[in-house]
């Protein structure tokens, strides 16, 4: 059976077309019935994935082609979800490395390719979007080869096969000059160049858990590849946890994949990717093994988090008004539940019972968790993200990011100057059709708050991507936000008359008729230093009227900050208050006198 199976993962930088290619493969392998309505990017099933157009969670499916069963794993493209990529690569025997025919290899391409090469996988390179204006497939192939050399690929890996494709049009070619109207060349290449799974069907059963899910009908489910042996539904198997403890349990359901659907199986063999139900306390990277001869498989090492922030019980005057889950017990239970499936996350208790230190791979990684929590009805406050320092050989080291930016020539001077102040070192620059691609090595601290500035400086035309590079000695202090903030003086509702008079003081974050409280941040001060203002004071009415007295009050549209922008914006003494309906900025200490006392202590 294993000779007829091919296990592949699709890896690429974000937006290079992984999920679109999966759509085309599903259509052409006959998974959909004739006239069946087809959803675009069908693998992006999560609400946030659909809204943002990105893949966050790895997902499995299977297609049949010419007698072969091809198990496909769709992976995320963002560096922040690299943990998802790292663990699923243990399930597959090869990868399709998608590279945009215009952009070429990007930071995340380097990251996922390095993980694949380290595991000894032989990638198939797919040059996607060959129909894109300005596409330069031959040049991109050379760039990919250079990247393989840079990452110390062995001779077998350097002899990679190439397929030229347009996932959007559903076509693939082995040579650019070929005529094609389908993905047949890609399917052929997978059949020829991907090795069948190497497991032994006669050996004792072993399965490495690489994904965990919950089904309301059958309970907790675990997905992974059967490394050795065979397994049957209803069979008793051993579960080996990270500490090496062995417990036995019975498989209540054995599920395989047919297209997008999970189907019940009576038996599965070495090499196949299956989902097993029947264990309540199963974790990622644990082993399911033969009950009589339990042998654990090697643990999948995941890169450590680089960024942390505090999740704090909301204590503002509006606490509990909009959220359903507000106590420290609720937040602790939710974070513990997240730890079971989110392998890149770490949660620690602090001195304060109402505060939890949560560490992740980046701002996006943590903001997706916060966004999911607020949609579930949680209410909490979070602090400014901080990088995680490490002691290496007695030297204090910090995480360094590999940053790639595409910027029009007229804006590059401003951007380079700002990055210089953030301790960035330029490593390369190349011209690209009216824009320049510039690469830097920059401390992760220097990127906090930079994206908003970058989009403003480039008038929205710049593109930036970054991924973790390495730990390096501390680069010294980096200047933070220059401007102070406008802080509400009292509890009440904002009045248009007051806001109109405050407009000259800076940029407002709130409009009229918005409830505010003492210590809440309602805008950015035009100068350094914070300013306490009264936004709730109405106009004094008198019985004297003149021609200019009742002139119309015109208020500039306030700047609305998204969750990510809020996390980037706040300073060390500020918090973001997050509820299912609102995102508010506030000072850590709401009372002005308490803030002054705390400032004296820190000095």
Point out the annotated binding site: 15-20, 128-131
* Separation between Cα atoms, residue 299 and residue 282, nearest integer Å: 14
Q: What count of other Cβ atoms lies within 10 Å of the Cβ of residue 542? A: 7
* Separation between Cα atoms, residue 408 and residue 431, nearest integer Å: 10
CB 543 within 8 A of CB 536: no
**Angle separating helix axes 137-150 and 107-118, nearest 10 degrees:** 50
Specify binding-site residues for GTP. Answer: 15-20, 128-131
Sign of CA dihedral 453, 456, 460, 462: negative
Report residue 530: phi and psi, to 5°: -85, 155
Consecutive H or E run containing 342: none
For residues 526-537, b (16+ Cβ closer than 10 Å) or e, as one string?
eeeebeebebbe
Q: Which two tokens stand for residue 439?
A: 């690469």
> Closest by alpha carbon to 430, among 415, 455, 412, 451?
412
> Closest by alpha carbon to 582, among 380, 368, 355?
380
* Separation between Cα atoms, residue 387 and residue 360, nearest integer Å: 10
Q: How far apart are the first and last CA of the chain?
A: 70
* Separation between Cα atoms, residue 258 and residue 264, nearest integer Å: 10
| Residue 452 Cα to chain centre, angstroms | 18
Q: Is 543 exposed, middle or buried (0-12, 13-18, 19+ CB in 10 A)?
A: exposed
For residues 254-282, b (16+ Cβ closer than 10 Å) or e, as one string?
bbbbeebebeebeebbbbbbbbbbbbeeb
CB 387 within 8 A of CB 306: yes
Q: What are the angstrom distances between the C-alpha of 321 and each of 310, 317, 324, 468?
A: 22, 9, 8, 39
CB 201 within 8 A of CB 269: yes
């Amino acid at each position: 059976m294993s000779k007829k199976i091919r296990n592949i993962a699709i890896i690429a930088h974000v937006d290079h077309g992984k999920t679109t290619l999966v759509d085309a493969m599903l259509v052409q392998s006959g998974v959909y019935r004739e006239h069946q309505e087809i959803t675009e990017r069908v693998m992006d099933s999560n609400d946030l994935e659909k809204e943002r157009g990105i893949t966050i969670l790895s997902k499995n499916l299977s297609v049949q082609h010419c007698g072969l069963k091809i198990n496909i794993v769709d992976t995320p493209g963002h560096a922040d979800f690299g943990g998802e990529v790292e663990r699923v690569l243990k399930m597959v025997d090869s990868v399709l490395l998608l590279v945009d025919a215009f952009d070429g290899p990007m930071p995340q391409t380097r990251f996922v390719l390095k993980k694949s090469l380290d595991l000894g996988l032989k990638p198939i390179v797919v040059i996607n979007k060959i129909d894109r204006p300005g596409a330069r497939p031959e040049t991109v192939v050379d760039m990919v080869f250079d990247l393989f050399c840079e990452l110390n690929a062995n001779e077998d890996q350097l002899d990679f096969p190439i397929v030229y494709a347009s996932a959007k049009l559903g076509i693939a070619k082995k040579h650019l000059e070929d005529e094609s109207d389908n993905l047949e060349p890609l399917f052929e290449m997978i059949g020829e160049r991907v090795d069948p799974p190497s497991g032994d069907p006669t050996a004792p059963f072993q399965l490495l858990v690489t994904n965990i899910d919950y089904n309301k009908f059958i309970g907790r489910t675990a997905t992974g590849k059967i490394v050795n042996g065979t397994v049957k539904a209803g069979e008793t198997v051993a579960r080996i946890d990270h500490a090496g403890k062995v417990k036995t349990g019975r498989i209540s359901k054995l599920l395989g994949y047919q297209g997008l659907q999970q189907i019940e199986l009576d038996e599965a063999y070495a090499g196949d990717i299956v989902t097993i139900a029947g264990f309540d306390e199963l974790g990622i990277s644990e082993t399911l093994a033969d009950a009589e001869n339990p042998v654990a498989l090697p643990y999948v090492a995941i890169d450590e988090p680089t960024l942390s922030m505090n999740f704090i019980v909301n204590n503002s005057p509006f606490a509990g008004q909009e959220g359903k889950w507000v106590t420290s017990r609720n937040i602790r239970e939710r974070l513990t539940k997240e730890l079971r499936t989110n392998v890149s996350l770490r949660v620690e208790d602090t001195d304060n019972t109402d505060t939890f230190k949560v560490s992740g791979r980046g701002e996006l990684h943590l903001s997706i968790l916060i966004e999911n929590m607020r949609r579930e009805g949680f209410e909490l406050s979070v602090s400014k993200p901080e990088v995680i320092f490490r002691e290496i050989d007695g030297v204090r080291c910090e995480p360094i990011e590999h940053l790639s930016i595409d910027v029009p020539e007229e804006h590059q001077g401003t951007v380079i100057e700002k990055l210089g102040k953030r301790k960035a070192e330029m490593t390369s620059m190349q011209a690209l059709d009216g824009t320049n691609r510039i690469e830097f090595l920059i401390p992760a601290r220097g990127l906090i708050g930079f994206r908003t500035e970058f989009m403003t400086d480039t008038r929205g035309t710049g593109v930036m991507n970054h991924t973790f590079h390495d730990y390096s000695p501390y680069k010294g202090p980096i200047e933070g936000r220059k401007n102070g903030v406008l802080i509400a003086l009292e509890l009440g509702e904002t009045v248009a008359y007051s806001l109109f008079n405050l407009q000259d003081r800076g940029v407002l974050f709130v409009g009229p008729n918005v409830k505010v409280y003492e210590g809440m941040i309602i805008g950015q001060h035009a100068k350094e230093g914070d300013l306490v203002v009264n936004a709730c004071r109405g106009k004094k009415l008198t019985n004297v009227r003149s021609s200019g007295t009742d002139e119309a009050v015109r208020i500039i549209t306030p700047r609305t900050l998204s969750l990510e922008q809020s996390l980037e914006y706040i300073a060390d003494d500020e918090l973001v208050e997050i509820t299912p309906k609102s995102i508010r900025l506030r000072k850590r200490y709401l009372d002005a006198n308490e803030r002054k006392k705390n400032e004296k202590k820190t000095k």
